[in-house]
Amino acid sequence: MRIDIIAVVPELLQSPFQHSIFKRAVEKGLASVYFHDLRQYGLGNYKQIDDYSFGGGAGMVLMIEPIDACISALKAERNYDEVIYLTPDGHTLNQPMANALSLKENIIILCGHYKGVDQRVRDHFVTKEISIGDYVLSGGELAAAVLADAIVRLIPGVLSDETSALTDSFQDNLLAPPVYTRPAEYKGWKVPDILLSGNTPQIDAWREEQAYKRTEERRPDLLT
Ligand code: 6GU
């Protein structure tokens, strides 16, 4: 999978992609990520990318020309399955959306900034609008890192233990159960006996029960 990210502050994006999951995915040739500085497509000597909102109101709006120039340059090179716009008024990201996106070949992620982008960008270039939750970030860059992480770790072969994505929270609409590692006792705090028993069917049953209890307590909405 190839991911092209268009951002106003691409510097915010560098570091998360140089470690762990992304690093491994890139090294294995399973994913590649490219960053594009919208400013490079800006208008005139000042490389203008935003302007005042028609009709008045506070906040600048990202202009259509630089975004069209950047997206068109990318589309001239290859076909894209999706052009995703990250915005707090998008559809809230969930695991099924991440699963579906992990099967795509090439995607563009456009990060919003300021008061957002000219509506015509959304009407004519964008194919999906995604929010990462009900709170407001200063820009879409960090949201892009979150979205890309959620997608890339699901590409087959990226995780070393193939089963581990399957037992994630949300993958079966249940939160993950508690996990423990050595030592079996620390300051008198013991690991549940069942996990040390070696009885796999009983351990599986315990984990499922714990996952259910945790979900009921914290996220009853997932059970309905
Ligand atoms: Cl995608 N962008 C911004 N600016 N804020 C957000 C968001 C996105 N998702 C949640 N909050």
The ipTM (two decimal places) reads 0.96
In a shared domain, residues 83 and 192? no
Q: How far is the CA of 141 from the centre of ligand 1 (A)?
A: 9
What's the sign of the alpha-carbon dihedral 34, 40, 42, 46?
positive
Is there a domain that residue 24 lies in? Answer: yes
Are 126 and 143 contacting, i.e. CB atoms less than 8 angstroms apart?
no
In a shared domain, residues 132 and 177? no
In a shared domain, residues 19 and 104? yes
Q: How far is the CA of 88 from the centre of ligand 1 (A)?
A: 4
pLDDT of 162 reads 57
For each of the chain's 224 residues, which pLDDT tens digit applies? 999 999 999 999 988 889 888 898 999 999 999 999 999 999 999 999 999 999 999 899 999 999 999 999 999 999 999 999 999 999 999 999 999 999 999 999 999 987 899 999 999 999 999 999 999 999 999 999 999 999 999 998 898 775 577 778 787 889 999 999 999 999 999 999 999 999 999 999 999 999 999 999 999 999 98
pLDDT of 167 reads 75
Enumerate residues 6+ apart whose C-beta is below 8 A from 55. Answer: none
Mean pLDDT, the chain, rounded, equals: 95
**Which residue, 2, 129, 142, 124, is CA-closest to 65?**
124
Q: How far is the CA of 206 from the centre of ligand 1 (A)?
A: 37
Is there a domain that residue 211 lies in? Answer: yes
In a shared domain, residues 216 and 113? no
In a shared domain, residues 32 and 121? yes
Is there a domain that residue 90 lies in? Answer: yes
Domain holding 143, by residue range, is 1-151
Q: Decide which of 118, 151, 184 is a domain's last residue.
A: 151
The pTM assigned to this predicted structure is: 0.93
Is there a domain that residue 157 lies in? Answer: no
- Amino acid (1-letter code) at residue 21: I
List beta partners, residue 185: 190
- Amino acid (1-letter code) at residue 206: W
Is there a domain that residue 162 lies in? Answer: no
In a shared domain, residues 57 and 120? yes
Shortest-distance atom of ligand 1 to CA 138: 4
88 lines ligand 1 (CB under 6 A): yes
Q: Please state the domain count of the chain.
A: 2
142 lines ligand 1 (CB under 6 A): no
In a shared domain, residues 121 and 66? yes
Q: Decide which of 91, 120, 151 is a domain's last residue.
A: 151
pLDDT of 163 reads 59
In a shared domain, residues 81 and 16? yes
91 lines ligand 1 (CB under 6 A): no
In a shared domain, residues 178 and 125? no
In a shared domain, residues 92 and 126? yes
CATH number (domain holding residue 115): 3.40.1280.10
In a shared domain, residues 172 and 113? no
Is there a domain that residue 111 lies in? Answer: yes
Enumerate residues 6+ apart whose C-beta is below 8 A from 173. Answer: 215, 222, 223
In a shared domain, residues 48 and 118? yes
CATH number (domain holding residue 216): 1.10.1270.20
**Which residue, 69, 48, 52, is CA-closest to 118?**
52
Is there a domain that residue 158 lies in? Answer: no
Alpha-carbon gap, residue 70 to 164, rounded angstroms:
37
What SS3 string covers the chain?
CEEEEEECCHHHHCHHHHCHHHHHHHHCCCCEEEEEEHHHHCECCCCECEEECCCCCCCEEECHHHHHHHHHHHHCCCCCCEEEEEEEEEEECCHHHHHHHCCCCEEEEEECECCCECHHHHHHCCCEEEECCCCCCCECHHHHHHHHHHHHCCCCCCCCCCCCCCCCCCCCCCCCCCCCCCCCEECCEECCHHHHCCCHHHHHHHHHHHHHHHHHHHCHHHHC
156 lines ligand 1 (CB under 6 A): no
Is there a domain that residue 156 lies in? Answer: no
Q: How far is the CA of 87 from the centre of ligand 1 (A)?
A: 5
Per the annotation, binding residues for S-adenosyl-L-methionine are 112, 132-137
List beta partners, residue 37: 7
Torsion of CA 69, 71, 74, 75, to 10 degrees: -110
pLDDT of 169 reads 79
